[in-house]
């Protein structure tokens, strides 16, 4: 079995706004890593500009060898490994591949802001793209549809804007019963 097949994806937490610098150091030291980046149009009074931002603020996925695990902690800007149940949090390769595919397919990927109060809506089947054949609960904002993807070990989520044309309604969200106040 190859060494890379035995290695597990872990998550490191970085200092604020240090993700790209830490990524450069990880590359320099030969530590396999993945920093998902999305493009966002930002507006100022006098201009607007496309920025490339980390999908998960403060987090980078790494796949270190045993020797590289501690070496990564010595990189400037690295704070710690994310822990889950007393051990380093392990991220399934399938979830990282899903993030990569969303970005490569050109879906509009952005950070999920819990304060947006996205209301979970109907269940739809995705007819095209990397999630073809999967059912997903979607959130609707105006005339746009969003799929919310959660990585449990990190307690992080991101949203993906999907064109309505690739969604096929499977079942409606059940209406909640309205209870009288008296």
The CATH number assigned to the domain holding 126 equals 2.30.30
Mark whether 115 and 58 lie in a shared domain.
Answer: no
Instruction: Please say if the pLDDT value at position 58 is more than 80.
Output: yes
Task: Kindly report, residue by residue over 63-110, the tens digit of the pLDDT.
Answer: 999 999 999 999 999 999 999 889 999 999 988 888 888 888 777 666
Widest CA span of the chain, in angstroms?
67
Mark whether 123 and 54 lie in a shared domain.
Answer: no
pLDDT bin (cut points 50, 70, 90) of residue 177 is: very low
Mark whether 17 and 77 lie in a shared domain.
Answer: yes
Average pLDDT, the chain: 78
Mark whether 139 and 63 lie in a shared domain.
Answer: no
Helix, strand, or coil (residue 180): coil
Query: Mean pLDDT over residues 170-176, rounded?
Result: 61
Task: Kindly report, residue by residue over 19-31, the tens digit of the pLDDT.
Answer: 999 999 999 999 9
Q: How is residue 42 written in tokens?
A: 């930002």
CA distance 36 to 182: 51
Helix, strand, or coil (residue 72): helix
pLDDT bin (cut points 50, 70, 90) of residue 41 is: confident
Mark whether 5 and 80 lie in a shared domain.
Answer: yes
CA distance 11 to 58: 10
**Pick from 26, 5, 1: which is nearest to 14 by CA?**
26
Give the domain-ending residue among 91, 120, 138.
91
**Pick from 152, 154, 159, 54: which is nearest to 112 by CA?**
159
Q: Tell me, what's the pLDDT at 116?
A: 45
Give residue for tokens 């309205």: 178
Mark whether 87 and 110 lie in a shared domain.
Answer: no
- 99 is a domain residue: no
> What is the domain range of residue 125?
106-172
Mark whether 115 and 86 lie in a shared domain.
Answer: no
Mark whether 80 and 112 lie in a shared domain.
Answer: no
Name the percent of the chain in helix, strand, coil, to the closest 5: 25, 40, 35
- 146 is a domain residue: yes
* The total number of structural domains that make up the chain: 2
User: Above pLDDT 70, what percent of the chain?
Assistant: 60
Mark whether 85 and 129 lie in a shared domain.
Answer: no
Give the domain-ending residue among 37, 56, 91.
91
pLDDT bin (cut points 50, 70, 90) of residue 9 is: very high
């Amino acid at each position: 079995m190859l060494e890379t097949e035995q290695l597990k994806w872990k998550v490191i937490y970085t200092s604020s706004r240090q993700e790209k610098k830490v990524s450069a150091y990880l590359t320099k030291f030969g530590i396999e890593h993945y920093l998902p980046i999305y493009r966002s149009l930002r507006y100022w009074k006098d201009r607007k500009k496309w920025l490339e931002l980390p999908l998960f603020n403060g987090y980078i996925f790494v796949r270190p060898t045993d020797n590289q695990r501690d070496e990564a902690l010595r990189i400037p800007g690295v704070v710690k490994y994310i822990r889950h149940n007393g051990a380093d949090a392990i991220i399934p390769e399938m979830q990282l591949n899903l993030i990569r595919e969303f970005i490569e397919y050109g879906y509009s990927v952005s950070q999920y802001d819990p304060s947006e109060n996205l209301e979970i809506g109907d269940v739809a089947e995705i007819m095209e793209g990397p999630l073809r054949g999967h059912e997903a609960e979607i959130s609707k904002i105006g005339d746009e549809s969003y799929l919310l993807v959660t990585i449990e070990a990190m307690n992080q989520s991101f949203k993906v804007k999907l064109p309505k044309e690739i969604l096929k309604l499977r079942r409606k969200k059940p209406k909640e019963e309205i209870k009288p106040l008296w």
